Amino acid sequence: MKWRKWNTIIHRDLGYLCFGLTIIYVISGVAVNHIQDWNPTYAIEKNTIKIDLAEIDNSDAQMLTKAVLEQIGETAPLKNIYQVDSNTLKIFVENNNLTVNIAEHMVYQEKSKKRKLLYQANFLHLNHPKKLWTWFADLYAVALGLLAITGIFVLKGKKGIAGRGLWLVGTGFIIPLVFLWLYS
């Protein structure tokens, strides 16, 4: 069998194999590229809640925390509390950050919720699992490299690497170099 036929077979089969993970990485990559505009992993819901602290000893952060959590109906595990000053208490519970303005009897709440699919895609793309996933991601990167190399040899002649393909491959190298030059 000729090398070009093997090249096409390898390119086709690797393309099929890499398709799913490539789509996951595309979605996650676009989301993470815009991290300055939004949180791609968590949706943050902000609320302001009026509470009654009339009967509570404001100097006891533990009692105050218990009263606040009861009044807003928060049942998640308490992670930490921090008394910023005599008027401000910060309460951290799982997936919820609370800032209590004691004088105004107000709670400013920032509740975080995992974004469906994006959380999982970002988890894999940013390599949070480590361990075996790192090796799999490395194999995927090598497969993408092979996909790129075999791809430049799929077509022959003017439309292949000997013609238009050479210009496109060159452009693919020049574009990132231009951006590196612009931003350095």
Which residue matches tokens 């105050």?
Answer: 64
103 contacts 87 by C-beta, under 8 angstroms: yes
Structure tokens at 4: 């070009």
The parent domain of residue 175 ranges over: 154-184
| pLDDT tens per residue across span 7-18 | 999 999 999 999
The domain boundary, picked from 89, 114, 139, lies at 114
**Residues 36 and 126 grouped into a single domain:** yes
Task: Verify that 49 and 106 share a domain, yes or no.
Answer: yes
Neighbours of 107 (CB within 10 A): 22
Do 37 and 54 lie in one domain? The reply is no
Q: What is the spatial distance between Cα 97 and Cα 108, in angstroms, rounded to a whole number? A: 8
- Global pTM reads 0.78
- Residue 96 burial (CB count, 10 A): 19
Together in a domain, 31 and 2: yes
141: pLDDT strictly greater than 90: yes
H/E element, 89:
strand 88-93
Report the domain count for the chain: 3
* One domain for residues 131 and 83: no
pLDDT digits (tens, 9 = 90+) for 68-105: 999 999 999 999 999 999 899 999 999 999 999 999 99
Alpha carbon 167 to its chain's center: 34
Do 51 and 107 have their domain in common? Answer: yes
**Segment (H or E) for 125:** helix 118-125
* 163 lies in the same domain as 142: no
Q: Are residues 62 and 93 in the same domain?
A: yes
Mean pLDDT of 143-163: 94
Same-domain pairing of 134 and 159: no
Q: 134 and 105 in one domain?
A: no
| Residues 130, 88 share a domain | no
pLDDT tens digit string along 161-171? Answer: 999 999 999 99
Both 61 and 84 in one domain: the answer is yes
